[in-house]
Amino acid sequence: MTQPLLKVENLQVEFNSRRGKAMVLNGVNIEVQPGETLCVVGESGCGKSMTALALLRLIPSPPGKISGGRVLFHGEDLLTASEERMRQVRGNRISMIFQEPMTSLNPVFTVGDQIGESLRLHAGLNASEARTQAIAMLKQVGIPAPERRVDEYPHQLSGGMRQRVMIAIALACQPDILIADEPTTALDVTVQAQIFDLLRELQREKGTAILLITHDMGAVAEMADRVMVMYAGRIIEQGTAEQVLERPAHPYTQGLINCLPELGSSLQSERAELAEIEGMVPSIWELDKACAFRERCTHALEKCAQEAPPMFTLTHSSDTAPHMTACWLQLQQTTDQGQAA
């Protein structure tokens, strides 16, 4: 394998408050290869967005604090880099788009100003060069009449157009990695598909790696090369999109996939009850050392309440890439198979 573009090792983020200390991220390991799309999936509050913010050191502090680990970008540890250096990286080498296109743009500046801003900050362009480049970017993200739109204000654009503008801002400096934090959650379905198409197209052209954060399994199926499933601040399963979607190993991943309603079947027969994962994500204040999913897990073993399961590689005959999970049940089955063979 080539050297990963981004390598996150044992990332830990804690929140401090009057109630004490809580681990929001607990030993997260991520590798992003150049040009690939890695999806991070999980329910609300599982630490997806925190992971994204931590990579750019943008965790609101207080109360948040990165308490351990390394974020190696091209081999350079961003967690020990100076604030000055971080500003050079943000928006230039690693950029980010947010969930809410309606509020992510500054209402008092034109979209041209805002696209041009990162070019002026990082590429040192002057105002007129930045404007020309902003028009070119608007064109690339598929906004009609870019020469006119460039002078418009955010309130004059629709949600989908604003998200396109956000993408234009994020990609203006041709970053190596684009972190997209639920980029389509606030948009309706047809626009979602357009935005995903656009991201894929731009990725092909520029070779940008995409770290897509989502709770939407449909988006995962559509976009992902590799998938990571997060639960309560830990990564509990990872593998290629095919492995995770077709042979989910962790009971939580299985639950997530079962929750997807099937459009066809529910119309034909009587509407089947929607599947759900019983219970709630445990509060970050209640986490202990054991498996965080055990309370909601239908297969929970005794061991699950005693110790957190380690990450291990599943052995499946057709696997060409490692498919890993952290679950006692799977570990037991795998070792049983190994002994039998």
CB of 51 to another protein, least distance (A): 14
Is position 4 an interface residue for another protein (rule: CB under 8 A)? no
Alpha-carbon gap, residue 167 to 159, rounded angstroms: 12
Is position 88 an interface residue for another protein (rule: CB under 8 A)? yes
Dihedral-angle region of residue 299 (phi above 0 means left; psi in -120 to 50 means alpha; beta otherwise): alpha
Is position 148 an interface residue for another protein (rule: CB under 8 A)? yes
CB of 157 to another protein, least distance (A): 11
Which residues in 182-241 contact another protein (CB under 8 A)? none
Of the two residues 58 and 280, which places its CB atom closer to another protein in the complex? 58
Number of residues that bind another protein (CB under 8 A): 36
Is position 259 an interface residue for another protein (rule: CB under 8 A)? no
Which of 24, 134, 166, 284 forms a contact with another protein (CB under 8 A)? 166
CB of 123 to another protein, least distance (A): 11
- In the chain, count H helices and then E strands: 12, 12
CB of 140 to another protein, least distance (A): 17
Stretch that binds another protein, among 15-23, 107-115, 241-249, 309-317 (CB under 8 A): 107-115
Which of 26, 37, 51, 95 forms a contact with another protein (CB under 8 A)? 95
DSSP string, 196-249: HHHHHHHHHHH--EEEEEES-HHHHHHH-SEEEEEETTEEEEEEEHHHHHHS--
Q: CA torsion 211→217→223→225, rounded to 10°?
A: 70
Is position 62 an interface residue for another protein (rule: CB under 8 A)? yes
Which of 169, 217, 219, 304 forms a contact with another protein (CB under 8 A)? 169
- Closest by alpha carbon to 226, among 214, 239, 213, 235? 239
Alpha-carbon gap, residue 230 to 220, rounded angstroms: 13
Question: In sequence order, what E strands does 33-129 have?
Answer: 37-41, 64-73, 76-77, 94-97
Q: What is the DSSP letter of 275?
A: P
Alpha-carbon gap, residue 126 to 149, rounded angstroms: 20
Of the two residues 124 and 264, which places its CB atom closer to another protein in the complex? 124
Binding-site ranges for another protein (CB under 8 A): 56, 58, 60, 62, 86-92, 95-96, 98-100, 103-110, 117-118, 121-122, 148, 151-153, 156, 166, 169-170
